[in-house]
Structure 1
């Protein structure tokens, strides 16, 4: 059985529901759903899923508790497939920020029969400020955890996929206005170096791997102006998979809304299908 895995920064689940997210869920019906910027409690999130797709959901959800993160972060992985362990700590320094959660999902899409699905929400940052220091510190611990996940997959353990809003455009292909954004957070060499390191370990940016060296496809556009209509976007939402999973990816698409009015978030879902 193929596995459909979707990731999306909802920019607040309640707002996304008001803007039409349930219709997208009913159309796509993903087997596994990774969410960022949930900004809600477990009951609200499960209620949305049950109203759209029925019951039986397993949920790994980390709500932020830090004063600077509460009400604006939160990550989750939801599925109706059988599950194993859930983990919410990538490093104790970031436990209250609501930016990392892992869930082990049982699926034939992973050679071991178990797939570790991660939902991550990387800080947006701001070059030359403490916000950027926080972002770089978080990327350090994320990269360390990804090293461990890659090693486990290479030794016959669960394959893994890291899904989410990375707030980094990896190359000029991933941002429409590369020249105008040089030196700004999200397009800094020190941020991109982390993604280079993931690739060096064997992690595969699934959408880029399948699309090839083309512009985009972008996954985020500002609400302001005509960014969406002119496709002046960034490709910052991704699925990075370990090799044993990546080789089973048949598609990885950005579900860009047909019109500005039909968007339910400033981010578009990224949906991949992995063969079983």
Structure 2
């Protein structure tokens, strides 16, 4: 099974920058996007052979997630319980016979860290939710998680310590989640690889010089780790300030 995840930073803009070409090229079973920045009826994608599930933010031009899949799910769930995250369209969960797929766009703590307390509450709720799902069947969790977990995941680590997306608190939440029975698929395959990033600032020549952050992830239940075939990043695909990431899982024995 092939999974793709991509923060498109506005699906309408990304479509004009080659989104559909990449979509067709990948021929994925599951294609998850974040930061769609649209409302119902503002974009129509003719994706033959795919079911489409959208979670729109109430605020126009903001946040939002979607999953395009070749496989009809047993159930579809938007958000986590009854919290305010549903207003921002940040989570979609598809249930299948043998696993759950959870597509997430994690809130940013903001430059002045004003949203850090909310972000940490979000992480706690989401971790409980993922653990509840994992108790029933394995989980594939993906998206823009807005955190560079370790210093190896960011170009200029020392100068960014304490900044949004690289605070000790945010990184600790990722460590806690992984310790509870989950695996960062890219790091599982490439534990020491450097200079692999998924997001770059729009500042002049930053992407050209590969001054980036790895903040987009495929994380899976520990018992799926032996099925990881491919866990890779597509840094040369443009269309957004993020690039797509890919996971391929072999069928279990």
Shift of residue 129, structure 1, vs aligned partner: 4.1
Contact 2:196 2:233 in 1 (8 A): yes
**Aligned residues of 2:79 and 2:90 also touching (Cα < 8 A):** no
Distance (whole Å) between structure 2 residues aligned to residue 49 and residue 160 of structure 1:
28
- Asked if 1 retains the 8 angstrom alpha-carbon contact of 2:161 and 2:168, the reply is no
Inter-CA distance 129–169: structure 2 relative to 1 (3 Å threshold): closer
Which residue of 1 is the match for residue 179 of structure 2?
A: 200
Q: What is the correspondence of 1:235-246 to structure 2 with a 5 Å cutoff?
A: 235-246=214-225
Give the equivalent residue in structure 1 for 2:51: 58
Instruction: Note if 1:134 corresponds to 2:118.
Output: yes
Mapped pair 1:24 → 2:22: yes
Asked if 2 retains the 8 angstrom alpha-carbon contact of 1:176 and 1:232, the reply is yes
Q: Match for residue 143 of structure 1?
A: 127
Distance 1:49 1:275 in 2: 29
Q: Deviations over 1:58-98 (max 9, x none)?
A: 22321111x4xx42100122201131101112132222011
Please tell me the root mean square deviation across aligned C-alpha atoms, in Å.
Answer: 1.7
| SS in structure 2 at match of 1:6 | strand
3-state DSSP class of the match of 1:199? helix
Q: Does 1:13 align with 2:11?
A: yes
- CA shift in 2, pair 1:43/1:57, >3 Å: farther
2:198 maps to which residue? 219
Following TM superposition, by how much is the alpha carbon of 1:44 offset from its aligned partner in structure 2, in angstroms?
5.4
Alignment partner, residue 88 of structure 2: 97
Q: Distance in 2 between matches of 1:25 and 1:241?
A: 23
Q: Distance in 1 between matches of 2:46 and 2:197?
A: 26
Cα distance, 1:16–1:172 mapped onto 2, change above 3 Å: same
Please name the residue that 1:265 is paired with: 240
SS of 1:96 mapped into structure 2 = helix
Larger helix fraction of residues: 1
Compared CA separation, residues 249 and 44, structure 1 to 2 (3 A): farther
Q: Which residue of 2 aligns with 1:108?
A: none
Q: Deviations over 1:82-119 (max 9, x none)?
A: 311011121322220111110123xxxxxxx4221111
Does the aligned pair in 2 maintain the 1:58–1:83 contact within 8 Å?
Answer: no
1:174 paired residue number? 153
Q: CA distance change for structure 1 residues 29 and 43 in 2, over 3 Å: closer, same or farther?
A: farther
* Matching residue within 66, 75, 78 for 1:76: 66
Unpaired runs of 5+ residues, structure 1, are 106-112, 153-157
Q: Residue 127 of structure 1: CA displacement?
A: 5.9
Secondary structure of the corresponding residue to residue 247 of structure 1: helix
Q: How many residues align?
A: 250
2-side partners of 1:234 and 1:99: how far apart?
21
- Report the 3-state secondary structure (helix = DSSP H, G, I; strand = E; otherwise coil) of the residue aligned with 1:92: coil
Contact 1:60 1:102 in 2 (8 A): no
CA distance in 1, matches of 2:121, 2:34: 19
What is the CA-CA distance between 1:139 and the residue it aligns to?
1.2
Q: How far apart are the structure 2 equivalents of 1:147 and 1:128?
A: 31
Please point out which of 231, 242, 261 is paired with 2:210: 231
Inter-partner Cα distance in structure 1 for 2:129 and 2:198: 25
Pick which of 214-223 and 125-134 moved more: 125-134
Match of residue 155 from structure 1: none
Task: Please report how far the alpha carbon of residue 177 of structure 1 lies from its aligned counterpart in structure 2 after TM superposition.
Answer: 0.4
